[in-house]
Amino acid sequence: MHAYPRLAAKLFRSPLLLDAGVRWSFETALLARMGAAVAQSSAMEGKAPDSRTADIYGTFQNVAIIRIDGVIDKRMLALEAECFGGVDLEVVDEALKQAEYDRAITHVVLDIHSPGGGVTGTPETAARIARLAKVKEVHAFVNCQACSAAYWLASQADVIAAAPSATVGSIGVYMALLDESRALEMEGYSVNLIKAGKHKAMGASFQKLTNEERAIFQGQVDSIYADFKKAVTASRRIAASTMQGQSFDGKTALALGLVDVLTSDSLEEYAGRLLH
């Protein structure tokens, strides 16, 4: 795990807007690679931003299509993309900017298939989508999954269209903090921590979490959760009981107000209906 410190930090020390089941699969994949830190190249490395944007952005007459596929993160590492796929919010932001400034574009379709991801960057990209929706009609098309961070993004569109069997929602935030202190003790290791600042190294896996530290982390999660709910309910009437981290199929999501319309269209068919 320590071979990939940034990825480990995301899974075990950062608030997440991610479907829990997907998170466990990432954890398993990461732990399986412990001790195997081999330098690997990725198609993502070395690519210019414009090239990466072209991978997710396309136009068809007056309609722009932006593909948000896989785990959502900001400034995603090549290793992260290799391990579990995903989309970099910096690239999504660039695609949204292109759609906004292209005068020929009147409609934008966000083709979303994602279990969610990290917190960093998600509120800002969601705000950019909301801004775009003020000048162009934005549709979120979900024929498979839009959960957690992905739903935060989708909720800012004018219209969310979901397949009846799609998975939608998971409005919630969580943080998983790994406690390795007992394992280190059993292996005969002790950590001598030298620090300045009362809360420095808070949440480090080699020490137990204090009640005060737990309260601080809980406050961070609660703050993100409040922002998530505020963004979702800015233009949608959704009951508080529906925003407790659970996901719904498309039919149930429609009844609860999480989506606006059900569709069995393919992406091409749906976008085609928006052509002049």
Domain ranges of the chain: 5-175+236-272
Residue type, 221: V
Bridge partners, residue 255, by sequence: none
What is the model's pLDDT at position 85?
A: 72
pLDDT value at residue 272: 96
**CA–CA separation, 257 and 169 (whole Å):** 11
Q: Where are the alpha helices (DSSP H) in 48-88?
A: 49-56, 78-84
pLDDT bucket at 42, cuts 50 / 70 / 90: very low
Interval 150-165 mean pLDDT: 98
The length of the chain, given as a count of residues: 276
3-state secondary structure of 233: helix
pLDDT category, 128, cuts 50, 70, 90?
very high
- In the chain, the N- to C-terminal Cα span, in Å, equals 52
Please tell me the pTM assigned to this model.
0.83
Q: pLDDT value at position 43?
A: 41
pLDDT of residue 35: 46
Rounded average pLDDT over 135-141: 98
Q: What pLDDT shows up at residue 31?
A: 53
pLDDT value of residue 75: 86
What is the percent of the chain with per-residue pLDDT over 90, rounded to a whole number? 69
Question: What would the pLDDT profile of 241-256 be if each residue is shown by its tens digit?
Answer: 999 999 999 999 999 9
Q: pLDDT at residue 34 above 60? A: no
Residue 12 pLDDT grade (very low, low, confident, very high; cuts 50, 70, 90): low
Question: 3-class SS at 109?
Answer: strand
Given CA atoms 233, 239, 242, 244 in this order, what sign does their dihedral have? positive
pLDDT in tens, 220-237: 999 999 999 999 999 899
Q: Which helix (H) or strand (E) holds 68?
A: strand 63-69
Structure token digits, residue 130: 């909301």
Is residue 29 over pLDDT 90? no
CATH number of 5-175+236-272: 3.90.226.10
pLDDT for the residue 144: 97
Q: What is the mean pLDDT of residues 152-168?
A: 98
Q: What is the pLDDT of residue 22?
A: 57
At 27 the pLDDT is 56
Nearest Cα to Cα of residue 151 among 176, 126, 133: 126
Summary mean pLDDT of the chain? 87
